[in-house]
């Protein structure tokens, strides 16, 4: 396996840390964490340094010259940038091209879907199009919906610590299959993809298992022995949430909760009603299938993960 230097934007964030873990577990040792200057001494970045990773300051809003300078050295650049900073990848990609980066992984790491369905996806597509326009080699990796984001609180409260979206409703009739991914599997996939020439200038859809909402609620009831009240949201209800949020945004453009209301409902329509987040539809959109590429990769199944959650041993997501 050829040695390469990998730069990661957002290495201490939720997705970035998973990628770092996957790379280190796969034996990658030449990793640069590109971080804001004002956060380079924060505990999360010092922890990266203690693992042999080079923290390097990068201001994605700085001058082109400063970004080019920060990107000197890495052969490959992976972006796990924050959702509200997605368009900062446009100057980042331009600078990466000038700096000699050989391949760019723009921030995707979400469900498979076409344009025009979800606002974050449309911003990502703007970045993807820019990368193609400037002739920078790329790989786009989408990872489905997360195990950690699909389940509901149960009456006893014993899994409240691990519930990400406490009030979420089940989209549609709950019978649409969706690609779900165990968080740690993201890093394992990326560690393979960075060395795989088949993925250059391609989109790759990776996932762990396919489940419908009703199936995973049935499983949670069976394993916990508790009854779950299920609330379903129709397309019309979800669309009304989007319309309501978008109507209020002009008067309160900085309101994160309004943006979250819009984004969550758009996601639910996409994966839970339209059925976009499946390997079949991803293939229609032009994705390669990670399971077909890496037949030997071992994964954590959803039933085992849910057992860990019920036993109180699962690591909460976004727990910082």
Per-residue pLDDT reduced to its tens digit, 264-295 = 999 999 999 999 999 999 999 999 999 999 99
Residue 243 and residue 102: Cα distance in Å, rounded? 42
Give dist(CA 23, CA 102) in Å, integer. 18
**Is residue 129 a part of any domain in this protein?**
yes
Q: Round to whole Å and give the CA distance between 290 and 40.
A: 34
If DSSP codes are grouped into helix, strand and coil, which group holds residue 168? coil
pLDDT of residue 2: 60
Measured distance CA(274)–CA(190) in Å, rounded: 27
Is residue 314 included in any domain, yes or no? no
Residue 258 belongs to a domain: no
Determine, yes or no, domain membership for 168. no
DSSP assignment letter at 38: G
| pLDDT number for residue 41 | 86
Residue 113 lies in a domain: yes
Residues 194 and 160 sit within 8 Å (Cβ to Cβ): no
77 has pLDDT over 90: yes
pLDDT of residue 138 exceeding 50: yes
Alpha helices in the chain (DSSP H): 14-25, 43-50, 64-70, 89-99, 119-133, 183-193, 213-224, 235-248, 256-268, 279-285, 290-293, 302-310
What's the pTM?
0.94
Supply the mean pLDDT for the chain.
94
Alpha-carbon distance 85 to 63, whole Å? 16
On the question of pLDDT at 37 being above 90, the answer is no
> How far, in Å, CA of 309 to CA of 230, rounded?
20
Any domain includes 27: yes
DSSP 205-265: E--SEEE-HHHHHHHHHHHH-------EE-HHHHHHHHHHHHHHGGG-TT-HHHHHHHHHH
Residues with catalytic roles: 124
Taking only the tens place, the pLDDT of each residue in 87-105 is 999 999 999 999 999 999 9
In a domain, 303, yes or no: no
CATH code, domain with 33: 3.40.50.720
Does the residue 232 lie in any domain? Answer: no
Q: Cα 99 to the chain's mean position, in Å? A: 26
| Structural domain containing residue 74 | 6-146+180-207+276-295
Q: Taking 90 as the threshold, does the pLDDT of residue 122 lie above it?
A: yes
**Residues 259 and 198: beta-carbon distance below 8 Å:** no
311, 312, 315, 319 alpha-carbon torsion, rounded to 10°: 150
More confident residue, 111 or 164: 111
Residue 165 predicted with pLDDT over 80: no
Q: Note the pLDDT of residue 320.
A: 46
Domain count, the chain: 1
Is residue 6 helix, strand or coil? strand
- Read off the pLDDT band of 319 (50, 70, 90): low
What pLDDT, in 10s, does the model give residues 217-274? 999 999 999 999 899 999 999 999 999 999 999 999 989 999 999 999 999 999 999 9
């Amino acid at each position: 396996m050829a040695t390469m230097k990998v730069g990661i934007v957002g290495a201490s964030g939720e997705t970035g840390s998973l990628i770092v873990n996957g790379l280190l577990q796969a034996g990658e040792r030449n990793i640069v964490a590109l971080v804001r200057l004002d956060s380079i001494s924060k505990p999360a970045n010092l922890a990266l340094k203690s693992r042999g990773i080079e923290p390097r300051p990068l201001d994605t809003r700085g001058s082109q010259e400063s970004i080019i300078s920060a990107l000197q050295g890495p052969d490959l650049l992976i972006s796990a940038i924050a959702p509200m900073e997605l368009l900062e990848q446009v100057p980042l990609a331009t600078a990466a091209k000038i700096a000699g980066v050989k391949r760019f992984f723009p921030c995707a790491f979400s469900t498979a879907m076409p344009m025009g369905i979800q606002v974050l996806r449309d911003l990502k597509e703007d970045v993807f199009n820019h990368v193609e326009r400037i002739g920078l080699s790329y790989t786009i990796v989408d990872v489905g919906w997360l195990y950690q984001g699909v389940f509901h609180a149960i009456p006893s409260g014993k899994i409240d610590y691990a519930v990400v979206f406490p009030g979420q409703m089940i989209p549609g009739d709950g019978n649409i299959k969706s690609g779900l991914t165990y968080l740690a599997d993201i890093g394992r996939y990326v560690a393979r993809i960075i060395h795989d020439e088949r993925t250059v200038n391609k989109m790759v859809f990776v996932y762990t298992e396919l489940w419908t909402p009703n199936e995973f609620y049935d499983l949670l009831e069976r394993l916990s022995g508790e009854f779950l009240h299920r609330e379903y949201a129709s397309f019309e209800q979800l669309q009304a949430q989007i319309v309501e949020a978008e109507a209020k945004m002009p008067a309160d453009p900085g309101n994160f909760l309004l943006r979250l209301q819009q984004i969550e409902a758009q996601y639910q329509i996409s994966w839970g009603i339209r059925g976009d987040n499946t390997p079949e539809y991803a293939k229609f959109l032009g994705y390669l299938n990670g399971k077909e590429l890496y037949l030997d990769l071992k994964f954590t199944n959803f039933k085992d993960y849910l057992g860990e959650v019920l036993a109180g041993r699962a690591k909460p997501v976004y727990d910082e």
